[in-house]
Structure 1
Amino acid sequence: MRSIKCFCGACELMLKQSTPLLRQFCGCKDCAQGLRWAASKGGPKPKFLPELIYFKSDITCVRGEMFMKPYKLRKSGSSTRVYCNKCYALIGVDNPHYQDNVFLQVLGHFATDIEFSIKPSAAIFMAHHLSTQSAEILVDIPIFNSFDNPDDLHRWMTITSVRDTFKAPERPPSGRSFRELIASFESIEVLNLQVGAEPT
């Protein structure tokens, strides 16, 4: 069975379904800030444009839970990020919009034996992204600068892989969901980072 691991080997999630449901680029400030914060603690240096992978939220086995810790960037933040507190690899991210159907990972920020043949479906929140290099890699996929316009949100949700990823689960997980894993921790640490600020 395929798994997601940290880089030091302390943490591992065994997945019921290892084939990702969705892959997309994200230029949002929070994705970048979360990755930079982990890098400041010794985690991997983030790419200039993160590539997000979404896995089905069905975990059959958790190893090294005592070395995992959940964080929020700020009190008002909607996403909860779980890191290995030894090597600061990303274990996963939950957000209410995922409806506990999936959890998020970022390529290059975890170890795995899973092959990623799935191609990116979109690039989102590109208005937040300052790099001009993004135009060199985003070929033949739709680009969304923001979702302030409801028409853009609707257009994004018409992409089949996006729609299937963010729908409510059709059945309960056979193991634990990622949200249930987060709920098992005593508390979530709030980092109190200002939006877009460089972590120190």
Structure 2
Amino acid sequence: MKQIDTIIFDLGGVLIDWNPEYLYLKVFNGNREKMQWFFDNICTSDWNENQDAGYPLAQATEDRVLLFPEYENEIRMFYGRWVEMLAGEITGTVTILKKLVESRNYKVVALTNWSAETFPIALERFDFLQWFEGIVVSGEEKTRKPFDAIFNLTLNRFNIKAENSIFIDDNLRNIEAAKKLGINGLLFESPDKLYKQLLTFNIYL
């Protein structure tokens, strides 16, 4: 059994309940089909991830409005009403984080795809973000998961050995990228399942 000494948490979808549906279900009056079409064609996840890698929100908005002028209002809402996409903390995972930090047995850091412009809102809202030894924010580093550069940066910055670390993320693409670098990956599905997954590494909370 590998000796785990570091836990690396993703934030959105693992510790923080962030979902653009919380805003756009209101915008599209509950019409899920219209909302999904908008996400698939206008404000896509690829487009949003470009901002997670440091592209300015204002410029990204204007670029999109230029391409889809008939959806100007809806496009401007994406970052204009971004705070409405934040529902709160995922309590069960925050409890796991707290126990890991309080045990003092592990180095606990975060690695998140997040715009540098909106991350201060999360820092202000969620006290548990202060518990980490450090947080790597993609928008500040001008790169993002699943690229090797941001994983290597995290390992180097916090003096982490890949094989002695566990990375927790709700995106399988990111888990697979981490595993290719020798980092142990856990796909997050629920706090209860995460408890059980950690047990397989002899981490008892």
Same fold per superposition (TM over 0.5): no
Larger relative strand fraction: 1
Identify, as 1 or 2, the structure richer in helix. Answer: 2
Calculate the TM-score normalised by the size of structure 1.
0.31
Structure whose CA Rg is larger: 2
